[in-house]
């Protein structure tokens, strides 16, 4: 093969290689077609969703951020949160939401009425009444701190979001009879496995990718998630042009 022919072959091979490599590139990038990342989005389907960085403060703010109040399960740590003021009014919405969280998370030890006779006491758990004079003397911030950190035989329930935690505090105050004119509802809200309005609402902290065409409303909104105002609506009408249309 002559040198000239050899150069032509190499040049053709180089063009063919470049054409194959560039065929996978998109030359029509605009604002409609661009890579984007959603909050908490994972790098792949096989990797769990990302969470908030440790000790970070949610977008809603925090009454007890981790960089100010320790998460140690120690008396002095709980005492340090006793002065935190309850920012949530003890209205019907708050008490109803607190009832849901209390029945699911707290009643197993404290009992549905807060008398410290939960089902766990039948298996060795110490009865911890919330309606005693001692418990009534706790400040809202102290109860909030106990839920946040846990202490002694009580584990942390920090998984309950902060604003819902205040609703539990308000519900406990209703159980204690410390809210004038309010009698706290007690007992389970539904049968085992029952969903809908018997359960707390969707998370308000993330992930932040709601289902398509769903009016996502958190439990703090005071409206049932399966009500007419929050039902799954139909997909928008098809506006695709068909043949012959302009």
Q: Of 49-53, 58-62, 95-99, 206-210, which range is least confident? A: 206-210
List residues bridging with 30 in a β-sheet: 33
Residue 10: both structure tokens together: 């190499």
Contact 202, 219 (CB under 8 A): yes
Contact 64, 134 (CB under 8 A): no
pTM of the full structure: 0.65
Q: Which fold has domain 75-189?
A: Cytochrome Bc1 Complex; Chain D, domain 2 (1.10.760)
The average confidence (pLDDT) of the chain is 78
Residue 151, pLDDT > 80, answer: yes
Q: Of 93-102, 162-171, 231-240, which range is least confident? A: 231-240
When pLDDT is averaged across residues 164-193 and rounded to a whole number, the result is 93
Per-residue pLDDT band for 225 (boundaries 50, 70, 90) equals: very low
Q: What is the pLDDT of residue 65?
A: 86
Place of tokens 């009643």: 107
Q: What is the pLDDT of residue 54?
A: 64
When pLDDT is averaged across residues 189-208 and rounded to a whole number, the result is 75
Contact 50, 40 (CB under 8 A): yes
CA 175/CA 170 separation, integer angstroms = 9
Q: What is the pLDDT of residue 8?
A: 73
- Kindly write down the DSSP assignment for every residue of 54-80, as one continuous string: TTPPPTT--SS-TTTS-----HHHHHH
Residue 79, pLDDT > 70, answer: yes
When pLDDT is averaged across residues 216-234 and rounded to a whole number, the result is 41
H/E element, 176: none
When pLDDT is averaged across residues 182-199 and rounded to a whole number, the result is 87
Q: What is the pLDDT of residue 217?
A: 44
Contact 149, 156 (CB under 8 A): yes
Q: What is the pLDDT of residue 232?
A: 36
Q: What is the pLDDT of residue 29?
A: 58
Q: What is the pLDDT of residue 235?
A: 40
107 vs 54, which has greater pLDDT? 107
Residue 148, pLDDT > 80, answer: yes
Instruction: Choose among 146, 170, 173: nearest CA to 157.
Output: 146
Residue 172, pLDDT > 60, answer: yes
Residue 213 gets the label, from left (phi > 0), alpha (psi -120 to 50) or beta, of: left
Q: Of 21-25, 35-39, 166-170, 178-182, which range is least confident? A: 21-25
Contact 198, 177 (CB under 8 A): no
Q: What is the pLDDT of residue 212?
A: 43
Residue 59: both structure tokens together: 């977008």
Percent of the chain with pLDDT over 90: 43
């Amino acid at each position: 093969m002559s040198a000239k022919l050899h150069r032509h072959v190499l040049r053709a091979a180089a063009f063919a290689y470049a054409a194959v490599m560039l065929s996978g590139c998109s030359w029509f990038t605009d604002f409609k077609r661009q890579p984007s990342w959603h909050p908490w989005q994972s790098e792949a389907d096989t990797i769990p969703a990302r969470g908030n960085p440790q000790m970070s403060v949610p977008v809603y703010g925090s009454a007890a951020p981790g960089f100010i109040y320790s998460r140690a399960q120690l008396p002095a740590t709980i005492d340090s949160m006793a002065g935190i003021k309850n920012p949530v009014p003890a209205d019907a919405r708050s008490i109803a939401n607190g009832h849901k969280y209390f029945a699911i998370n707290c009643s197993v030890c404290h009992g549905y009425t807060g008398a410290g006779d939960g089902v766990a006491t039948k298996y060795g758990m110490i009865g911890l009444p919330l309606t005693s004079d001692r418990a009534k003397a706790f400040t809202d911030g102290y109860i909030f701190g106990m839920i946040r950190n846990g202490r002694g035989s009580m584990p942390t329930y920090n998984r309950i979001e902060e604003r819902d935690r205040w609703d539990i505090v308000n519900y406990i105050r209703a159980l204690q009879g410390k809210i004038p004119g309010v009698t706290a509802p007690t007992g389970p809200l539904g049968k085992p496995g029952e969903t809908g309005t018997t359960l707390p609402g969707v998370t308000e902290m993330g992930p932040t990718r709601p289902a398509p065409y769903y009016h996502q409303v958190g439990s703090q909104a005071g409206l049932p998630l399966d009500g007419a105002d929050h039902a799954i609506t139909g997909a928008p009408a098809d506006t695709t042009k068909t043949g012959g249309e302009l």
